Structure 1
Amino acid sequence: MAKWGEGDPRWIVEERADATNVNNWHWTERDATGWSSDKLKALVLGLTVENEEGSCEVTEVSKLEGEASINNRKGKLIFFYEWTLKATWTGKSKTGVLYKGEIEVPNLSDENGMEDLDISVSLNKDEPETPLTGLMRTKGADKIRQALGSYVGFLKTEFTQGMILPSANGMAKIQTSSQSKATHDRTTISSGNSAAPVNTGVKIPTCKFSLKEMFQTSPADLYRVFLHQEMVQAFTHAPAMVDGDKGGRFRLLDGNVIGEFTELVADEKIVMKWRYNNWPCEHYATITMSFMDRSSETELKVDYRGVPDNEEERTKEGWKRYYFQAIKQTFGYGAQLY
């Protein structure tokens, strides 16, 4: 029998003020159904699209059935959600004629990625044919997919606050069930050399290059993904600090990436000082992101200046994986790579 004070620390409760679930060892569950219902309605209602034929708006959520919950076991978060959604859309032609139809999403769940989401759009039976139906089936469905992708991101950030309790040694890190391997990969790629950076006082050789990527969303929606702390936490799957104003600083990917926003042009351009934390002390690259409207998509061009020569490939791969791919997977902005 273990002596008093020498037991397994996972079961010691007297060191915790609330004396519960020390080190997050026990299974805990939080019901996210009510919160999710409100969030889904808020994200979907009022969505609008338009073209030369007219405009359409989601005016009512007529059915929303399902459930959502988050489980914490041994410091890992497991997400469950399953929803069926029906909504009404209203169209208005350039000549002022009104139309009504229905949107149905039968399979929003943790088992399906946003690219696998079924979104059906129909026109009410008593309505005459209109090109606005096609608008809703293309741009409208894209907007719905983006909104539902945002819900998943917010579920993993907003609603998880407090799910991981402080341990006897301080604050426990939030880690989802799908995150443990990603954390290892991110540490390998982003941290590289584990030695602390040193200031050698020697000018280091640097390089410049550019990357381009297409996203199925508007420039405005993509622009705000980089500046809102909740959205950054959603696509990086980790706590982050982001002050999305000019001169504001950011820290993400477990502190492996830090920087400062030096220029912001709404929906068009973001310029920032950016660095991995193991680069030579106080050395930053200058990164310029340009957002260009390409009809139903946004082209993002990223120019990199001042990246250390020996960090070029790691920086490219890091951005492709932890920015571009992660944003598409989290918010449903997938588009063809090139």
Structure 2
Amino acid sequence: MAKYGEGDKRWIVEERPDGTNVHNWHWSERDCLEWSRSLLSSLLSGITVLDGEGGLVIRTKTVDKLEGEAYVNVRKGKVIPGYELSLSLSWEGEARSSADGEALLKISGTLEVPYLADENAGEDPEVRITVRDDDGPIGRRIKDAFIAKGKPIIFEKIRAYVQAMAKGGPAKDELEAKKPTSAAKAAALDAKTALTPSAPAKKEKKVKEGFKNITLTERFNCRASDLYEILMDENRWKGFTQSNARISKEVGGEFSLFDGSITGVNEELKEGKLIVQKWRFGSWPDGINSIVKLSLDEQEAGVTVVKLTQTNVPEEDKYGNATVVENTERGWRELIFHKIRAVFGFGM
């Protein structure tokens, strides 16, 4: 037994020169709020939106407020960003005479992003633009021009922040430094080869890297036919999700859920028994589709068991966020199954 204060080295997890994380036990968290404040200020401040076009000059000024939290977790070398922020950006606009360029009106205003969060990383956030000084015709013209020309620029800058967080934020350089060099990898491979006894080559089953499967089982106090109808009826979807939905009831027909965030195609349908769909989030990398299979089994009258399997769910979205699998699973439980129980009274 080791003396008090020394510890047994066999059980100590420490940083290694080759970057290897012993037993993959290491979890680190880095506060990113001040880093986020600095980056968003540099991205959003001093942008020239219009410089004389149509007699208008519009510029952003400074990020006046940033509140909330932002952090990056690193587990087994994987970056897991988390942030919920609200920010306020000041801007100014000027209308000039087309004849002599003389200033007709100068106004100032505020741009607010009330909710910028990792859970909505694949979507453009809500942006509110207001005018402080003047709400007359010229003031409204400047505001409308800022909405038309400025919002796309703001979205582009915010996407740059989202991508930077997905890559590790302020921890990015540390992660790069800890990656083993090619020489270290080669040495580790040589050592492993030397210590491993030779054995007949086995044909291994190929595993699709970067993807995972989801499996869920839920029970409902209802007939299987009723639950099937709810899952395949767009008006009922609108009711329990409080969002727009469009659902075809035909094989080969398309569907769109949660205001277009989810889209897909019906692959196989057996009324009251089976729904198989090609299914994807808009934030997933282009061309990536998962397969959702919902099996409905009415084991006794009025009690239906739903077995869900969703295969080929990407571990990361196109912005580099590594929370796709857990968010998808939570969405099925909290935004679909739990809502159906609550709205239609199918609780167990």
TM norm structure 2: 0.43
Higher relative contact order (CA 8 A, sep 6+): 1
User: Looking at CA atoms only, which structure, 1 or 2, has the larger radius of gyration?
Assistant: 2
TM norm structure 1: 0.45
